[in-house]
Structure 1
Amino acid sequence: MIALTGLLVASGQALAIGGSLEQGKNFTNLNVDMGKSTGGIYVEGNWTWDTDDGGEYGGAGVGYNFDLGPVMLNAGAKAVYLNPKKGDDGMAFPVGGGFKVDLPMNFAIYGEGYVAPDSMTNSVKNYTEADGGISWSPISLVTLKAGYRYAGVDGKSGHPKHNIVDGAYLGAGVTF
């Protein structure tokens, strides 16, 4: 991760650093990123935990943003630590992508999804995560969000399919 950050800095590309907090009824998500709001390479990390039963997951990812005017598309990969509290602790290496569409009055819609089949995990049959919603930036440094987040696994060794987090959230973030 440090080497990748050094590579990003050495590339001469101005990268914004951001952070956000999302709170759902039964979960909290913390996210940090560098370069996620502009075209080009980005890195990000997050930690999400279920405040109801203690399940959690978190990881780091890298990807590329394709800035197409009011539309930004991205593709990336992550390394995710899983601790769903049902005996499936381990790692998953999902790939996926997302989009953001700018709307009038500083609103935007966004979504992303990642998946890791059995061959890209060491503890579950598969891992899936998705996030989507609407955001508003009243000033350029601040973003307010309302969305829906899901992360779930199909367990191995007699552990059934289960959700780590699943629900609506409100969030806020800053970008420098």
Structure 2
Amino acid sequence: MGGDTDDEGARPLDVQGLDASSTGFEFVDLGAVPEVAARLVAARQGIAERRLVDELVGELGLVDVRHNERRLLGRLVWSARGRRMIELRDGAWVPGPAAPAGIPQLAGRTLDDLASQAGELKAFDTSEDALFRAFLAELVGEGERAARIVAIVAGAAIALARRRGDLDYDRGGQARLGIDADG
């Protein structure tokens, strides 16, 4: 597992079930990332603001993390801040007053399985907005307000489903028509 840092005395955290080194970012338990970030900050206080995502990538054993995946990890880190598990003081992360915890609506969920779930909803409606609303309702419950991070992850899952071809919608929200070369 990752965890090697330049900090003296730094030790790897127990992130059992989150080590994605053999499978990739799509298989990380997204609901647990804020908790892991908070435990990482508690174990290695004073991590520079811009280094926490890199430290988290190493802790999770991830390799070749794409820019959009790093951005999503960064947003999950800021979710830990918003939930007061960590605080940013003078450009360094320190533990916050709240106990480390995951995101219940995303607990045990990976980007891969969320993208598959989003792909199953493609028959719901041909509009991107209706698909997004239906997917959020599945994650948080019909009529419930979704936390911003849950909505961000839902959007990332829909984008992955689209890239994988699980959704046959273009950006305008129209169903794509498969027309062969003979017309």
TM-score of the pair, normalised by structure 1? 0.24
More strand by share: 1
Higher relative contact order (CA 8 A, sep 6+): 2
TM-score (norm 2): 0.24
By percentage of residues, which structure has more helix?
Answer: 2
